[in-house]
Amino acid sequence: MAGALRGVFARSIATVGSSSGGNKSVIWTSSSLDPYTNLSIEEYLFRKVEVVSPILFIYRNRKSVIIGRNQNPWQEANLEELVRQGTLLVRRRSGGGTVYHDEGNTNYSVMLPRDQFERRVNAGLVANAVQEMGIDHVNVTDRYDVCVGDRKVSGSAFRITSKRAYHHGTMLISSNLAQLKGALRPTPNMNIVDSKAVGSVRSPVTSLVDSVTSHVNHHRFVHHLSRAFSRHYYPSLDPVPHPHVIGESELERNEFVGAGYKELKSWNWIFGQTPQFTRLFHVQSDDHSICIPVEVTYKNGSIMETKFDTSNLDPAFLQKLSRRFPTGDAIDCAFSLSLDTT
């Protein structure tokens, strides 16, 4: 899988830590606003590039809700509201909770060898970048969130393998908090009574533009985060290296990123990876003389099992139930209309 992007990455990262001097590409940004593309670039950097020294990847996405790998989308997001907003739904490959992205939010990912991985250090770099923009009362919580006062501006998650790790997170600079709040609430009328999914820890949030009188924006944050990252991991680099911008031409020739994009956008990934959960329905007979509770358990987004009391039920009603909840049938979802089915 030696596409153009891989070659560029490998040559640039190979210079890190060398004694030859010159510009070293340790900071990367994406020109794309597509969340499926940017998460695929992140996965490429993590899995296909030998990260022998820390690198920083920075990007923004169009409106999207990003759920953790082991989460239930119906519990984490109001999917009906997402359709109304034109907001994408994405399941990332790391764990952790659900976050909201838009162009007023900036995302970062610090990738490094496992023996250098420290969440508090990386969260501290983000906090330092915020402080350098003239914002006071910045602190890092025990969950490694970055807060201004008691309100969160940056949440994060991490992923660790045998040799490498990454710490990635968000920064709410000027996000639409009204749309965020509308999106990050459970889908109504799902009646989920049991779930093996990991739930998000809800926290009050704010944005940087609401926390300071001076001008803050994406470009200033990128500048200060790049400085904080370089000072900590590459103190001998002077001046701070400019980010390498990953353009469309590089992306088009990279098969790994293309395959990752297709997987992340598929129904099987977004919904089919949902941990097992159970919903409660109340089903009436055609003449409304009977109403019984029905528990339907879903695995991988499809019906695995249906439970109800069969005593005193006539055959026609039983047949109605079997037609309504056929084993293996995928859960109804408006998003399915716009997703790949493979």
Residues 229 and 312 in one domain: no
CA distance 158 to 322: 43
How much is the pLDDT for 307? 94
Residues 205 and 250 in one domain: yes
- Structural domains counted in the chain: 2
How big is the CA angle at 13 (ends 95 and 31), to the nearest 5 degrees? 65
CA distance 20 to 182: 52
At residue 340, does pLDDT exceed 60? no
* Angle, in degrees to the nearest 10, between helices 255-264 and 35-48: 130
Residues 181 and 32 in one domain: yes
Residues 260 and 294 in one domain: no
Residues 166 and 38 in one domain: yes
Residues 44 and 106 in one domain: yes
Cis status, amide bond into 239, omega within 30 of 0: yes
At residue 335, does pLDDT exceed 70? no
Residues 102 and 187 in one domain: yes
Residues 220 and 333 in one domain: no
- Domain carrying residue 56: 4-191+198-270
Residues 291 and 246 in one domain: no
Q: What is the pLDDT of residues 178-200, one digit of tens each?
A: 999 999 999 999 999 999 999 99
Q: What is the pLDDT of residues 271-295, one digit of tens each?
A: 999 999 999 999 988 888 888 999 9
Q: Which of 226, 251, 270 is the last residue of a domain?
A: 270
Has this prediction a pTM greater than 0.85? yes
Residues 291 and 253 in one domain: no
How much is the pLDDT for 332? 72
Q: What is the pLDDT of residues 21-51, one digit of tens each?
A: 344 579 999 999 999 999 999 999 999 887 7
How much is the pLDDT for 213? 66
Q: Which range, of 22-31, 162-171, 312-321, averages the lowest pLDDT?
A: 22-31
- H or E element: which one contains 292? strand 291-299
How much is the pLDDT for 2? 39
CATH number of the domain where residue 98 is located: 3.30.930.10
Q: What is the pLDDT of residues 67-116, one digit of tens each?
A: 999 999 999 999 999 999 999 999 999 999 999 999 999 999 999 999 99
How high does pLDDT run on average in the chain? 88
Q: Which of 216, 249, 270 is the last residue of a domain?
A: 270
How much is the pLDDT for 23? 45
Residues 96 and 245 in one domain: yes
